[in-house]
Amino acid sequence: MTARLILDPCPSPAWQCEGHLQTIAAMKWGRRVPQQFVRQRLDTPDDDFVDIDWAGQQSHTHCEFDGPALVIFHGLEGSSQSHYAQAIGAHFVERGWMVAVAHFRGCSGEPNRLARSYFSGDSQDVGFILEQVRSQLPQARWHAAGVSLGGNALLKYIGEQGRQLSWLNGVAGISVPVDLVATGMQLQTSLVGRYLYTPHFLASMRHKLRQKAGAFPGAVNWRKALQARTLLQFDDAYTGPVHGFRSGLDYWARCSSKYFLQAIQVPTLLLIARNDPFIPEASLPGPDQASDHVVLHYPYTGGHAGFASGAGRGELTWLPRRLERFFTLNQ
Protein backbone atom coordinates (compact mmCIF):
# COMPACT_ATOMS: atom_id res chain seq x y z
CA MET A 1 0.00 0.00 0.00
CA THR A 2 1.15 3.53 -0.74
CA ALA A 3 0.34 7.05 0.40
CA ARG A 4 -2.48 9.05 -1.18
CA LEU A 5 -1.41 12.05 -3.27
CA ILE A 6 -3.51 15.25 -3.44
CA LEU A 7 -2.70 18.31 -5.57
CA ASP A 8 -5.69 20.49 -4.59
CA PRO A 9 -4.69 24.18 -4.70
CA CYS A 10 -4.24 26.74 -1.98
CA PRO A 11 -6.00 29.90 -3.30
CA SER A 12 -3.14 32.37 -2.76
CA PRO A 13 -3.84 36.11 -3.14
CA ALA A 14 -3.40 37.16 -6.78
CA TRP A 15 -0.62 39.63 -5.99
CA GLN A 16 1.41 36.95 -4.21
CA CYS A 17 2.57 35.50 -7.49
CA GLU A 18 5.47 33.26 -6.41
CA GLY A 19 6.91 31.30 -3.49
CA HIS A 20 9.26 33.88 -1.97
CA LEU A 21 6.50 36.48 -1.83
CA GLN A 22 4.02 33.98 -0.40
CA THR A 23 6.54 33.04 2.30
CA ILE A 24 7.44 36.57 3.36
CA ALA A 25 4.00 38.15 2.98
CA ALA A 26 2.34 35.59 5.25
CA MET A 27 4.95 36.15 7.94
CA LYS A 28 4.96 39.95 7.69
CA TRP A 29 1.42 40.94 6.77
CA GLY A 30 -0.95 37.97 6.90
CA ARG A 31 -4.12 38.77 8.87
CA ARG A 32 -4.62 36.63 11.96
CA VAL A 33 -6.21 36.83 15.38
CA PRO A 34 -3.48 37.13 18.05
CA GLN A 35 -3.58 34.21 20.48
CA GLN A 36 -2.73 34.57 24.17
CA PHE A 37 -0.96 31.68 25.88
CA VAL A 38 -0.18 30.61 29.45
CA ARG A 39 3.38 29.32 29.88
CA GLN A 40 4.43 26.14 31.66
CA ARG A 41 8.06 25.15 32.25
CA LEU A 42 9.02 21.49 32.20
CA ASP A 43 12.36 20.22 33.48
CA THR A 44 13.93 17.63 31.19
CA PRO A 45 15.65 14.45 32.41
CA ASP A 46 19.09 15.98 31.64
CA ASP A 47 18.51 19.02 33.91
CA ASP A 48 17.52 21.37 31.13
CA PHE A 49 14.04 22.74 30.42
CA VAL A 50 11.46 23.27 27.71
CA ASP A 51 8.56 25.72 27.82
CA ILE A 52 5.04 24.94 26.65
CA ASP A 53 2.50 27.66 25.94
CA TRP A 54 -1.11 26.58 26.54
CA ALA A 55 -4.37 28.06 25.29
CA GLY A 56 -7.92 26.84 25.52
CA GLN A 57 -11.29 27.29 27.18
CA GLN A 58 -10.38 24.88 29.94
CA SER A 59 -7.40 25.17 32.27
CA HIS A 60 -4.80 22.63 31.20
CA THR A 61 -4.50 21.50 34.82
CA HIS A 62 -8.00 20.00 34.59
CA CYS A 63 -7.15 16.39 33.79
CA GLU A 64 -10.81 15.58 33.15
CA PHE A 65 -10.77 17.53 29.87
CA ASP A 66 -11.84 15.00 27.26
CA GLY A 67 -12.13 17.18 24.15
CA PRO A 68 -9.80 17.46 21.17
CA ALA A 69 -6.29 18.80 21.80
CA LEU A 70 -3.39 19.83 19.56
CA VAL A 71 0.32 20.18 20.29
CA ILE A 72 2.30 22.31 17.81
CA PHE A 73 6.05 22.06 17.17
CA HIS A 74 7.51 25.25 15.65
CA GLY A 75 10.14 25.71 12.96
CA LEU A 76 13.74 26.92 13.01
CA GLU A 77 14.03 29.83 15.49
CA GLY A 78 10.24 29.91 15.81
CA SER A 79 8.00 30.15 18.89
CA SER A 80 4.38 30.52 19.95
CA GLN A 81 4.59 34.03 18.48
CA SER A 82 5.28 32.74 14.96
CA HIS A 83 2.55 33.63 12.49
CA TYR A 84 1.61 30.01 11.83
CA ALA A 85 1.41 29.15 15.56
CA GLN A 86 -0.78 32.16 16.20
CA ALA A 87 -3.08 31.39 13.27
CA ILE A 88 -3.41 27.68 14.01
CA GLY A 89 -3.78 28.24 17.76
CA ALA A 90 -6.53 30.85 17.44
CA HIS A 91 -8.48 28.73 14.95
CA PHE A 92 -8.54 25.61 17.10
CA VAL A 93 -9.10 27.38 20.43
CA GLU A 94 -12.12 29.13 18.92
CA ARG A 95 -13.52 25.68 18.16
CA GLY A 96 -13.09 24.38 21.70
CA TRP A 97 -9.75 22.63 21.31
CA MET A 98 -6.93 22.72 23.83
CA VAL A 99 -3.75 23.94 22.17
CA ALA A 100 -0.17 23.57 23.40
CA VAL A 101 2.77 25.15 21.55
CA ALA A 102 5.95 23.34 22.52
CA HIS A 103 9.16 25.35 22.43
CA PHE A 104 12.39 23.63 21.56
CA ARG A 105 15.30 24.35 23.90
CA GLY A 106 16.32 27.99 23.85
CA CYS A 107 13.39 29.15 21.70
CA SER A 108 11.04 30.54 24.34
CA GLY A 109 12.99 33.76 24.93
CA GLU A 110 15.35 32.45 27.60
CA PRO A 111 18.65 30.56 27.09
CA ASN A 112 18.51 26.89 27.97
CA ARG A 113 20.91 25.54 30.59
CA LEU A 114 23.19 23.31 28.50
CA ALA A 115 25.69 23.72 25.68
CA ARG A 116 23.37 21.74 23.43
CA SER A 117 20.31 23.32 21.86
CA TYR A 118 17.77 21.75 19.48
CA PHE A 119 17.98 20.08 16.09
CA SER A 120 15.79 18.78 13.31
CA GLY A 121 15.84 15.14 14.39
CA ASP A 122 15.49 15.46 18.15
CA SER A 123 13.29 12.42 18.76
CA GLN A 124 14.09 12.41 22.46
CA ASP A 125 12.68 15.87 23.09
CA VAL A 126 9.68 15.32 20.81
CA GLY A 127 8.86 12.14 22.70
CA PHE A 128 9.33 13.85 26.06
CA ILE A 129 6.98 16.69 25.11
CA LEU A 130 4.30 14.39 23.72
CA GLU A 131 4.32 12.25 26.84
CA GLN A 132 4.19 15.33 29.08
CA VAL A 133 1.14 16.87 27.40
CA ARG A 134 -0.59 13.50 27.29
CA SER A 135 0.03 12.91 31.00
CA GLN A 136 -1.49 16.27 31.88
CA LEU A 137 -4.61 15.74 29.77
CA PRO A 138 -4.91 11.95 29.59
CA GLN A 139 -8.57 11.99 28.53
CA ALA A 140 -8.05 14.42 25.65
CA ARG A 141 -8.13 13.31 22.02
CA TRP A 142 -4.60 14.33 21.08
CA HIS A 143 -3.28 15.49 17.71
CA ALA A 144 0.13 16.89 16.74
CA ALA A 145 1.36 19.30 14.09
CA GLY A 146 4.90 20.31 13.22
CA VAL A 147 6.03 23.17 11.00
CA SER A 148 9.29 23.08 9.00
CA LEU A 149 12.09 21.88 11.33
CA GLY A 150 9.51 20.92 13.96
CA GLY A 151 7.61 18.95 11.36
CA ASN A 152 10.72 17.02 10.37
CA ALA A 153 11.51 16.12 13.98
CA LEU A 154 7.89 15.11 14.59
CA LEU A 155 7.58 12.91 11.48
CA LYS A 156 10.91 11.23 12.19
CA TYR A 157 9.72 10.38 15.71
CA ILE A 158 6.31 9.17 14.50
CA GLY A 159 8.02 6.86 12.03
CA GLU A 160 10.43 5.53 14.66
CA GLN A 161 7.62 4.71 17.06
CA GLY A 162 5.43 2.83 14.60
CA ARG A 163 2.36 1.34 16.29
CA GLN A 164 3.29 2.61 19.75
CA LEU A 165 1.52 5.95 19.17
CA SER A 166 -2.02 4.70 18.71
CA TRP A 167 -3.18 7.32 21.25
CA LEU A 168 -2.46 10.05 18.68
CA ASN A 169 -5.55 10.66 16.58
CA GLY A 170 -3.75 12.48 13.80
CA VAL A 171 -0.48 14.17 12.83
CA ALA A 172 0.34 16.94 10.35
CA GLY A 173 3.67 18.02 8.94
CA ILE A 174 3.64 21.47 7.32
CA SER A 175 6.36 22.76 4.96
CA VAL A 176 8.61 19.95 6.16
CA PRO A 177 12.18 19.72 4.81
CA VAL A 178 11.87 15.94 4.60
CA ASP A 179 15.23 15.75 2.81
CA LEU A 180 17.51 17.95 4.91
CA VAL A 181 20.40 17.62 2.48
CA ALA A 182 18.32 18.86 -0.45
CA THR A 183 16.87 21.74 1.59
CA GLY A 184 20.23 22.69 3.05
CA MET A 185 21.83 22.83 -0.37
CA GLN A 186 18.90 24.81 -1.76
CA LEU A 187 19.38 27.45 0.93
CA GLN A 188 23.14 27.43 0.37
CA THR A 189 23.22 27.66 -3.41
CA SER A 190 20.21 29.79 -4.38
CA LEU A 191 20.78 33.55 -4.32
CA VAL A 192 17.75 34.29 -2.15
CA GLY A 193 18.55 31.39 0.16
CA ARG A 194 22.16 32.44 0.62
CA TYR A 195 21.64 36.19 0.93
CA LEU A 196 18.18 36.51 2.51
CA TYR A 197 16.96 33.44 4.38
CA THR A 198 20.29 32.13 5.67
CA PRO A 199 21.46 35.48 7.15
CA HIS A 200 18.04 35.84 8.79
CA PHE A 201 18.37 32.50 10.58
CA LEU A 202 22.07 32.85 11.39
CA ALA A 203 21.62 36.28 13.01
CA SER A 204 19.26 34.79 15.59
CA MET A 205 21.36 31.67 16.14
CA ARG A 206 24.62 33.60 16.54
CA HIS A 207 23.05 35.66 19.32
CA LYS A 208 22.29 32.48 21.24
CA LEU A 209 25.72 31.03 20.51
CA ARG A 210 27.53 34.03 21.98
CA GLN A 211 25.73 33.39 25.26
CA LYS A 212 26.67 29.72 25.19
CA ALA A 213 30.29 30.39 24.28
CA GLY A 214 30.78 32.30 27.53
CA ALA A 215 29.12 29.62 29.65
CA PHE A 216 30.65 26.53 27.96
CA PRO A 217 34.03 27.59 26.54
CA GLY A 218 35.31 24.11 25.67
CA ALA A 219 32.16 22.50 24.31
CA VAL A 220 32.77 23.14 20.59
CA ASN A 221 34.80 25.44 18.35
CA TRP A 222 32.73 28.54 19.07
CA ARG A 223 34.88 30.77 16.87
CA LYS A 224 34.25 28.56 13.86
CA ALA A 225 30.53 28.40 14.61
CA LEU A 226 30.20 32.16 15.01
CA GLN A 227 32.02 32.73 11.71
CA ALA A 228 29.65 30.42 9.78
CA ARG A 229 28.10 31.97 6.68
CA THR A 230 25.96 29.01 5.63
CA LEU A 231 23.75 26.58 7.53
CA LEU A 232 26.10 23.74 6.60
CA GLN A 233 29.05 25.58 8.12
CA PHE A 234 26.99 26.29 11.22
CA ASP A 235 25.88 22.68 11.55
CA ASP A 236 29.42 21.45 10.88
CA ALA A 237 30.79 23.59 13.68
CA TYR A 238 27.98 23.49 16.24
CA THR A 239 24.72 21.58 15.67
CA GLY A 240 26.34 18.36 14.49
CA PRO A 241 29.15 18.00 17.04
CA VAL A 242 27.22 19.19 20.09
CA HIS A 243 24.43 16.68 19.38
CA GLY A 244 26.67 13.71 18.62
CA PHE A 245 26.97 13.78 14.81
CA ARG A 246 30.21 13.58 12.84
CA SER A 247 29.41 16.62 10.70
CA GLY A 248 26.63 18.76 9.38
CA LEU A 249 26.06 16.42 6.45
CA ASP A 250 26.00 13.41 8.77
CA TYR A 251 23.35 15.20 10.84
CA TRP A 252 21.28 16.09 7.78
CA ALA A 253 21.46 12.59 6.30
CA ARG A 254 20.59 10.74 9.50
CA CYS A 255 17.75 13.05 10.57
CA SER A 256 15.83 13.47 7.30
CA SER A 257 12.25 12.35 7.97
CA LYS A 258 11.88 11.18 4.34
CA TYR A 259 13.43 7.87 5.36
CA PHE A 260 10.93 7.27 8.17
CA LEU A 261 7.68 7.92 6.29
CA GLN A 262 7.12 4.29 5.28
CA ALA A 263 7.07 3.25 8.95
CA ILE A 264 4.36 5.73 10.02
CA GLN A 265 1.30 4.02 11.53
CA VAL A 266 -0.66 7.13 12.59
CA PRO A 267 -2.99 9.08 10.24
CA THR A 268 -0.62 11.74 8.91
CA LEU A 269 -0.93 14.70 6.56
CA LEU A 270 2.22 15.97 4.84
CA LEU A 271 1.49 19.43 3.41
CA ILE A 272 4.20 21.06 1.27
CA ALA A 273 3.77 23.70 -1.43
CA ARG A 274 5.47 22.81 -4.70
CA ASN A 275 6.78 26.38 -4.91
CA ASP A 276 8.31 26.29 -1.41
CA PRO A 277 11.57 28.27 -1.82
CA PHE A 278 13.30 26.17 0.85
CA ILE A 279 12.35 22.73 -0.45
CA PRO A 280 13.22 21.56 -4.00
CA GLU A 281 10.16 20.01 -5.63
CA ALA A 282 12.31 17.09 -6.80
CA SER A 283 12.95 16.14 -3.15
CA LEU A 284 9.27 15.68 -2.30
CA PRO A 285 8.48 12.05 -1.47
CA GLY A 286 6.21 10.16 -3.82
CA PRO A 287 3.32 7.88 -2.80
CA ASP A 288 5.58 4.82 -2.83
CA GLN A 289 7.91 6.45 -0.29
CA ALA A 290 5.33 6.73 2.50
CA SER A 291 2.95 4.34 4.21
CA ASP A 292 -0.75 4.14 3.45
CA HIS A 293 -1.38 6.05 6.70
CA VAL A 294 0.05 9.17 5.02
CA VAL A 295 -1.71 11.72 2.82
CA LEU A 296 0.65 13.77 0.64
CA HIS A 297 -0.86 17.16 -0.18
CA TYR A 298 1.29 19.24 -2.55
CA PRO A 299 -0.56 22.40 -3.66
CA TYR A 300 1.22 24.38 -6.35
CA THR A 301 1.35 27.58 -4.25
CA GLY A 302 1.77 28.48 -0.59
CA GLY A 303 5.45 29.20 -0.14
CA HIS A 304 7.19 28.08 3.03
CA ALA A 305 4.83 28.01 6.02
CA GLY A 306 2.76 30.67 4.28
CA PHE A 307 -0.47 29.38 2.73
CA ALA A 308 -2.22 32.76 2.80
CA SER A 309 -5.50 32.97 0.91
CA GLY A 310 -8.12 35.55 -0.03
CA ALA A 311 -7.40 39.11 -1.13
CA GLY A 312 -5.45 42.11 0.13
CA ARG A 313 -2.86 41.25 2.76
CA GLY A 314 -4.09 37.66 2.78
CA GLU A 315 -5.87 35.62 5.43
CA LEU A 316 -4.06 32.91 7.38
CA THR A 317 -7.13 30.72 7.62
CA TRP A 318 -6.60 28.19 4.82
CA LEU A 319 -3.89 26.26 6.70
CA PRO A 320 -5.75 25.73 10.00
CA ARG A 321 -8.91 24.82 8.10
CA ARG A 322 -6.95 22.25 6.10
CA LEU A 323 -5.60 20.76 9.33
CA GLU A 324 -9.05 20.72 10.94
CA ARG A 325 -10.54 18.97 7.92
CA PHE A 326 -7.87 16.26 8.05
CA PHE A 327 -8.10 15.80 11.82
CA THR A 328 -11.89 15.64 11.73
CA LEU A 329 -11.77 12.82 9.19
CA ASN A 330 -9.55 10.83 11.54
CA GLN A 331 -11.38 11.22 14.87
Structure confidence at residue 62 as a pLDDT band (50, 70, 90)? low
Give 191-201 pLDDT, tens digit per residue.
999 999 999 99
Measured CA to CA, the distance from residue 327 to residue 172 in angstroms comes to 9
CA-based end-to-end distance of the chain: 22
> Phi/psi at 264 (nearest 5 deg)?
-70, 130
Give the CA-trace dihedral at 72, 73, 74, 79, to 10 degrees: 70
Give 95-129 pLDDT, tens digit per residue.
999 999 999 999 999 999 999 999 999 999 999 99
User: Parallel, antiparallel, or unpaired for β 98-102 and 68-73?
Assistant: parallel
pTM here is 0.96
The predicted model gives 31-52 an average pLDDT of 94
- What confidence score (pLDDT) does residue 329 get? 85
Q: What DSSP letter does each residue of 112-169 carry, written as one string?
A: -SSS----TT-HHHHHHHHHHHHHHSTTSEEEEEEETHHHHHHHHHHHHHGGGGTT--
The predicted model gives 213-232 an average pLDDT of 94
Fold (CATH) for 4-177+258-329: Rossmann fold (3.40.50)
**Residue 211 burial (CB count, 10 A):** 12
Exposed/middle/buried for 110, CB within 10 Å: 0-12, 13-18, 19+? exposed
Give 131-150 pLDDT, tens digit per residue.
999 999 999 999 999 999 99
CB 248 within 8 A of CB 234: yes
CB 242 within 8 A of CB 117: yes
Spell out the domain ranges in the chain.
4-177+258-329, 180-255
- Number of H helices and number of E strands within the chain? 12, 9
Amino acid at 169: N
Greatest distance between any 2 Cα atoms in the chain: 53
Give 235-251 pLDDT, tens digit per residue.
999 999 999 999 999 99
